[in-house]
C-alpha cells in the first residue's frame, strides 16, 4: 500500500517521495513538500486528466458562446440605431412631403384658373376646384381614374362644344389627343359667351396637364382695340371725303341760290331748281352724319335734362313709329343733367327709335329709360366719373354676333337697298364719343336689343323749359 502511494505521489510531483522518519519522542518531523490536495483513492491519472480536459472544453465553449452573444448584441444595437435613424429620416421626409403636398393643394385651390392632369392612359389623375367651372363637367362625377372619353362626353352633353353629335365629337377629340394634335395653346368659346384659353403640355412618362384660363376680358379688350383702330382709320378717310364733298355742296347751294333770284316766274325752272336745292340739302345732311361718325362735327354741349327731352319727344316718336309700336318710358328719379348738344341727342334718340321699329315689323314695345351711373361701371370703357344714360329697348328680332360686331361701322346695314344708308348707329357712336361718353349694345336673337348711350354729367343744372327746335330734328336713314 505504501509503495502504491509512493508511486502515485511521484507521478503527480515528478519527485521521489521523502523518506519516512522515525517518530520517536524528542525528534521533530521534517516538513513534507506541498503537493496537490488530491485524495487519489482508486482514480487513475487518465481519468483525472479527462475530467480536466472536459472542463477546459466546456470553458472554451462557454467563452466562445459568450463572445458570439456579445457580437450579436453589438450587431443588434447597431441595427437598432440605424433603424431609429431611418425611421427618423423617413418621418422627416414624410413630414416634408406632406408639407409640400399641402402647399401644392393650397396653391391649386387658390388658383383662379382650372387645371387637370391625366396619365398616359388618358385617365384623370388630379384636378382643382375651378376645373368643373371651366369645363362644364359636374363635380359629383369627377373621380381619379375617370377617362377622357367620359370627361369629353360630359362636356359634349352639357353643350360645351355646341350643337354636335356627342359620340362623333368625343371620338374626334380623343383621336386628336392620342395623336398629340391638341397640345400647345388654343382658344375655345363657351356657350355662355366666355372665351377660354387652353394650355396643354405633355408630362414625363406620358399624359399631359391642361390649364384653363378665362381670357374673355382680354379678348374683348383686343377686339375693342381692333375695332377702335379700324374705326379711327375709317373716320380719317370719312372726314377727308366729307370735307371735300362739303366744298362741292357749298358751290352747288350757292349757285342754286343765285339762280333762284334769276329765274323769275318760270315754274318749270323753279321746280327743277327746288329739286337741286333739296338734293344739295340732303347731301349736306349726309356730310354732317359723316362728320358725326368721324367725330369732327361742331357740337354745342350744354346741361340738358334728359327726362324733359324724352317727354317732349313722345308725340314725335309716336307719330313716327306708328300705332303698331307702343312707346313706354322709364325715367330715372332725381336725374342729373347731361352735358350734350340737345339737337344731336334728339337725333340720336329718334334714330334709335326708328331702328327699333324696323326690328319689330309686326309691332311691339319700345322703351326709353334714363338713369344715373356713378363712377362709370357702364361696361363701355369709359373714364371714371359720373354719367347719365338714355337707353332705347325694343322687343324685336335682335342681332346676330356678326351684326353686333359691325353695328357701328359706317354704311353697314341689314336693311334692303334704298331703305337705309347705314350711318345711323355710326352717328350715334360719333356723337356719344365726341361728347365724352360712349355707347353699348346688348342684343340676342329673338330677345330684342338695347342700345344705351352714356353722357357725362354736367356740373350745373339744366335750365328749366329748354326746348329744341323740332324742325331741325329728322330721322336718319
For position 366, what pLDDT does the model report?
93
Q: Which residues contact 93 (CB under 8 A, 6 or more apart)?
A: none
Q: For residue 406, what is the enclosing H or E element?
A: helix 401-406
Model confidence pLDDT, tens digit, residues 27-47? 444 444 444 444 444 455 566
Q: Which residues of 309-347 are buried (b: 16+ CB within 10 A; e: fewer)?
A: bbeebeebbeebbeeebebeeeebeebbbbbbbbebbbb
Q: Please name which of 348, 382, 358 lies closest in space to residue 451, comparing C-alpha atoms.
A: 348
CATH number belonging to domain 302-472:
3.30.565.10
How many Å from the N-terminal Cα to the C-terminal Cα in the chain? 164
For position 77, what pLDDT does the model report?
74
Domain positions in the chain are: 114-214, 219-293, 302-472
Inter-residue contact 462 to 393 (CB < 8 Å): no
**What does the mean pLDDT of the chain come to?**
76
* Sign of the alpha-carbon torsion through 170, 173, 177, 183: negative
Model confidence pLDDT, tens digit, residues 179-235? 877 778 888 888 888 889 999 888 888 889 999 999 888 888 887 777 777 767 766
Rounded CA-CA distance 442/440 in Å is: 7
Rounded CA-CA distance 213/211 in Å is: 7
Q: C-alpha cell of 46? A: 487518465
Q: Which residues contact 430 (CB under 8 A, 6 or more apart)?
A: 235, 291, 292, 293, 294, 295, 297
> Mean pLDDT lowest for which of 51-65, 220-234, 362-376, 453-467?
51-65
Inter-residue contact 111 to 130 (CB < 8 Å): yes
Q: How many CA atoms within 13 Å lie on the side-chain side of 227?
A: 16
Cα 38 versus chain centre, distance: 106
Is 151 in a helix, a strand, or coil? helix
For position 375, what pLDDT does the model report?
63
For position 424, what pLDDT does the model report?
64
Q: Please name which of 269, 292, 400, 282 lies closest in space to residue 341, comparing C-alpha atoms.
A: 292
Reported pTM: 0.48
> Mean pLDDT lowest for which of 278-287, 308-317, 355-364?
278-287
Model confidence pLDDT, tens digit, residues 274-309? 888 888 877 777 777 666 666 566 677 899 999 999
Name the band, by pLDDT with cuts 50, 70 and 90, for residue 255: confident
Average of per-residue pLDDT across 435-444 = 88
CATH class of 114-214: alpha beta
Question: Does the pLDDT at position 22 exceed 70?
Answer: no
Amino acid at each position: 500500500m505504501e509503495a502504491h502511494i509512493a508511486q502515485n505521489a511521484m507521478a503527480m510531483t515528478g519527485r521521489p517521495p521523502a523518506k519516512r522518519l522515525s517518530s520517536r519522542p524528542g525528534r521533530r518531523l521534517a516538513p513534507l513538500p506541498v503537493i496537490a490536495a488530491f485524495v487519489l483513492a482508486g482514480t487513475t491519472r487518465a481519468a483525472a486528466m479527462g475530467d480536466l480536459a472536459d472542463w477546459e472544453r466546456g470553458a472554451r465553449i462557454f467563452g466562445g458562446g459568450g463572445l458570439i452573444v456579445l457580437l450579436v448584441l453589438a450587431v443588434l444595437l447597431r441595427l437598432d440605431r440605424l433603424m431609429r435613424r431611418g425611421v427618423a429620416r423617413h418621418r422627416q421626409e414624410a413630414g416634408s412631403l406632406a408639407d409640400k403636398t399641402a402647399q401644392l393643394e393650397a396653391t391649386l385651390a387658390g388658383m383662379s384658373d382650372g387645371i387637370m392632369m391625366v396619365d398616359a392612359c388618358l385617365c384623370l389623375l388630379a384636378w382643382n376646384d375651378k376645373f368643373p367651372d371651366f369645363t362644364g363637367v359636374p363635380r359629383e362625377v369627377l373621380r381619379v381614374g375617370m377617362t377622357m372619353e367620359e370627361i369629353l362626353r360630359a362636356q359634349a352633353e352639357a353643350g360645351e362644344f355646341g350643337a354636335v353629335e356627342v359620340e362623333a365629337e368625343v371620338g374626334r377629340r380623343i383621336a386628336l389627343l392620342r395623336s398629340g394634335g391638341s397640345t400647345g395653346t388654343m382658344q375655345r368659346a363657351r356657350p355662355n359667351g366666355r372665351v377660354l384659353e387652353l394650355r396643354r403640355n405633355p408630362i414625363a412618362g406620358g399624359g399631359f396637364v391642361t390649364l384653363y384660363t378665362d381670357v374673355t376680358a382680354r379678348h374683348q379688350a383686343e377686339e375693342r382695340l381692333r375695332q377702335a383702330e379700324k374705326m379711327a382709320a375709317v373716320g380719317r378717310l370719312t372726314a377727308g371725303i366729307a370735307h371735300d364733298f362739303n366744298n362741292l355742296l357749298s358751290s352747288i347751294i350757292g349757285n342754286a341760290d343765285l339762280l333762284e333770284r334769276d329765274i323769275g316766274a318760270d315754274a318749270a325752272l323753279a321746280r327743277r331748281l327746288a329739286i337741286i336745292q333739296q338734293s344739295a340739302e340732303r347731301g349736306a345732311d349726309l356730310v354732317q352724319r359723316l362728320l358725326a361718325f368721324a367725330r369732327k362735327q361742331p357740337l354745342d354741349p350744354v346741361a340738358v335734362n334728359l327726362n324733359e327731352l324724352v317727354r317732349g319727344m313722345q308725340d314725335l316718336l309716336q307719330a313716327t313709329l306708328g300705332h303698331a309700336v307702343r312707346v313706354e318710358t322709364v325715367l330715372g328719379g332725381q336725374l342729373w343733367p347731361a352735358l350734350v348738344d340737345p339737337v344731336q341727342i334728339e337725333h340720336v334718340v329718334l334714330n334709335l327709335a326708328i331702328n327699333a321699329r324696323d326690328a319689330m315689323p309686326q309691332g311691339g314695345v319700345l322703351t326709353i329709360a334714363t338713369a344715373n351711373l356713378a363712377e362709370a361701371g357702364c361696361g363701355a370703357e369709359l373714364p371714371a366719373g359720373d354719367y347719365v344714360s338714355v337707353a332705347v329697348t325694343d322687343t324685336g328680332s335682335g342681332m346676330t354676333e356678326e351684326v353686333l360686331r359691325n353695328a357701328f361701322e359706317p354704311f353697314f346695314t341689314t336693311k334692303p337697298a334704298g331703305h337705309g344708308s347705314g350711318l345711323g348707329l355710326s352717328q350715334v357712336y360719333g356723337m356719344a364719343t365726341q361728347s365724352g361718353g360712349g355707347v353699348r349694345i346688348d342684343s340676342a336673337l329673338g330677345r330684342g336689343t338695347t342700345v344705351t348711350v352714356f353722357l357725362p354729367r354736367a356740373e350745373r343744372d339744366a335750365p328749366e323749359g329748354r326746348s329744341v327746335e323740332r324742325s331741325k330734328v329728322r330721322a336718319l336713314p
